[in-house]
Amino acid sequence: MTKKGGLGRGLSSLLEEKVETGTGKVHELSVLDIEPNPKQPRKNFDQEALRTLADSISEVGVLSPILVRQKENGLYEIIAGERRWRASKLAGKKKIPAIVKDYETKEVMEIALIENLQREDLNPLEEAMGYQTLKEQFGLTQEDIAKRVSKSRSTVANILRILNLPDFVLKEIKNGKVSLGHAKALTSLESDELKKLLLYEIVKNEISVREAEEYAKKLSEKKRPQMIRKNLKKDPNLIEVEHQLTSKFGTKVLIKSGKIKSKIEIEYYSQEDLKRIVDQLS
């Protein structure tokens, strides 16, 4: 039996029977006695989807109990089910079904993260970052992660590869303009130059995943020999300077040397990107 009490308890909780932890029993807890996990991986909740869930809860109630642990102050911290809790509050519910379990802080973080990764509305970047956290903070292998989120190990491996893409691609994935299938096609290309060409087709011309895969194949076949020949002719010192400038400005920089005049080309992808580069030059 877990001792109840402590400052901050709601009156309704003080009048309830004592709650047994770790039994798997479902309890009706006051929504006012429940707090979200401050280290919850998901920070943003779609308000329209939350409203839809609240309407459903108003009609049929919460069909699946949330999972909580009891804190030292007597309140309950959500381990899994924050959306259901938020929607219940939005629906004006006073109580919510909950299972009370004893978990260490690290276990709570892992469970909360895995629950989010099992959701269908994550974008590929959020999913990849979640897998990376499970690897780095919890020491899970790709096989471990695959079992926990009910996916194949190869799927987990492919999603993790997204994190190796350059920032200008990750930005478009985050904005929802590049799907997982498109991202996989982009990872097949070796250079940032080729990735930019394919990214343009994906974002501006809205090509399908199949078209992106075909385009990536053609780029790899046609551009690689051309790039090799081009680099063999270029002064190695200029290539080194290009690399330094590319690193400094965070975008592709090309130096074109001519007999009479030469020029430096700095690429940018938005007005915001242009302002950032101008600020650096200033």
Q: What is the pLDDT of residues 77-126, one digit of tens each?
A: 998 888 999 999 999 999 999 999 887 777 777 777 787 787 766 788 88
Confidence of residue 6 (pLDDT cuts 50, 70, 90): very low
β-strands 66-70, 34-35 pairing = unpaired
CA-only gyration radius of the chain, Å = 26
Active-site residue 28, yes or no?
Answer: no
* Domains observed in the chain: 11-104 (3.90.1530.30), 122-163 (1.10.10.2830), 166-233 (no CATH), 235-282 (no CATH)
pLDDT for position 151: 86
Comparing C-alpha atoms, which of 198, 204, 205 is closest to residue 183?
198
Crossing angle (nearest 10°) for helices 142-149 and 124-138: 120
pLDDT category of residue 40 using cuts at 50, 70 and 90:
low
Find the catalytic residue in 48, 59, 72, 82: 82
Mean pLDDT for all residues in the chain: 80
Neighbours of 52 (CB within 10 A): 12
231 pLDDT more than 70: no
Check pLDDT > 70 for residue 225: no
pLDDT at 13: 38
Taking only the tens place, the pLDDT of each residue in 160-207 is 999 999 999 999 998 889 998 999 999 988 888 889 889 988 988 889
**Lowest-pLDDT range of 18-32, 43-57, 154-168, 264-278:** 18-32
The whole-model pTM stands at: 0.53
Cβ atoms of 255 and 242 within 8 Å: the answer is: yes
Query: What's the burial of 4, exposed, middle or buried (CB within 10 Å: 0-12/13-18/19+)?
Result: middle
Dump pLDDT digits (tens) for 248-265. Answer: 777 778 888 777 888 888
HEC letters along the chain: CCCCCCCCCCHHHHCCCCCCCCCCCEEEEEHHHEECCCCCCCCCCCHHHHHHHHHHHHHHCCCCCEEEEECCCCCEEEEECHHHHHHHHHCCCCEEEEEECCCCHHHHHHHHHHHHHCCCCCCHHHHHHHHHHHHHHHCCCHHHHHHHHCCCHHHHHHHHHHHHCCHHHHHHHHCCCCCHHHHHHHHCCCCHHHHHHHHHHHHHCCCCHHHHHHHHHHHHHHHHHHHHHHHHHCCHHHHHHHHHHHHHHCCCEEEECCCCCCEEEECCCCHHHHHHHHHHHC
Identify the residue whose tokens are 């990872």.
187
